[in-house]
Amino acid sequence: MSFFSKVFGGKKEAAAPSTAEAIQKLRETEDMLIKKQDFLESKIELEIQVARKNGTKNKRAAIQALKRKKRYEKQLQQIDGTLSTIEMQREALESANTNTAVLTTMKSAADALKSAHQHMDVDQVHDMMDDIAEQQDVAKEISDAISNPVAFGQDVDEDELERELEELEQEELDKELLGVGTGENLPAVPATAEPVAPAKARSKPKAKEEDEDLKELEAWAS
């Protein structure tokens, strides 16, 4: 600070506006310049009409109207350039504002994550995961034990059971063979009566023999 500033007091610099305030001011300026554009365009159109009206009647008035039109067009061109500059500045501020918000959020998240990790110990986490895995193994063993049926008499010799089954099968086979030998299992023969000849059929041979004897007796007697 200079001597005169110390004596008379220097002008304090104004605090810089926030990004949001600067963006708002730029938008207001854009709106004002756009309104001025509309006004100048209407003035240019009006001067063109004046120049056309006085083109043949009052040449001096027509030329003055065209001069004013040129000034308005120059102002309009300057406003166009100003609007382009303001638009680029506003977009840069909006981008910076977005980046600031993103970085602020990311820093808050990083601080929260760091704070959460401060209450954790890596070794404790590993021990906890080992305990969880161990308890899962125990739960699996219990589930397997419950799902398997209780087996009684598992001390029985399987070979002995096989031999006993073979003996039973052999006994059954022997019974079937004995039944075939004695005819117990043979099918019963249907009982049918012998055919009986009719009485007349049996008496005919005897009558024939008597006739022959009688003929012999008559032949001897004669």
Number of structural domains the chain divides into: 1
What was the pLDDT predicted at 190?
54
State which residues form the domain around 56: 17-122
Give the alpha-carbon dihedral of 57, 63, 69, 75, to 10 degrees. -160
Q: Is residue 9 part of a domain?
A: no
pTM of the model: 0.44
| Contacts for 213 with CB less than 8 Å, ≥ 6 apart | none
Query: pLDDT tens digits for 166-181?
Result: 888 888 888 888 876 5
Whether residue 55 is contained in a domain is answered as yes
Residue 197 lies in a domain: no
Mean per-residue pLDDT for 175-193? Answer: 61
What is the rounded distance in angstroms from the CA atom of residue 52 to the CA atom of residue 66?
Answer: 10
| C-alpha dist (Å) from residue 72 to 29, 38, 75, 82 | 19, 11, 5, 15
For range 23-42, the mean pLDDT: 94
Listed residue (100, 104, 92) closest to 23, CA to CA:
92
pLDDT at 161 over 60: yes
Specify the residue for token string 């739960």: 139
| Domain contains 205 | no
Residue in the block written with tokens 């087996």: 151
Residue 180 CB neighbours (<10 A) = 10
CATH code at 25?
1.10.287.1060
The answer to whether position 218 is within a domain reads no
3-state helix, strand, coil in the chain (%, to 5): 80, 0, 20
pLDDT at 81: 95
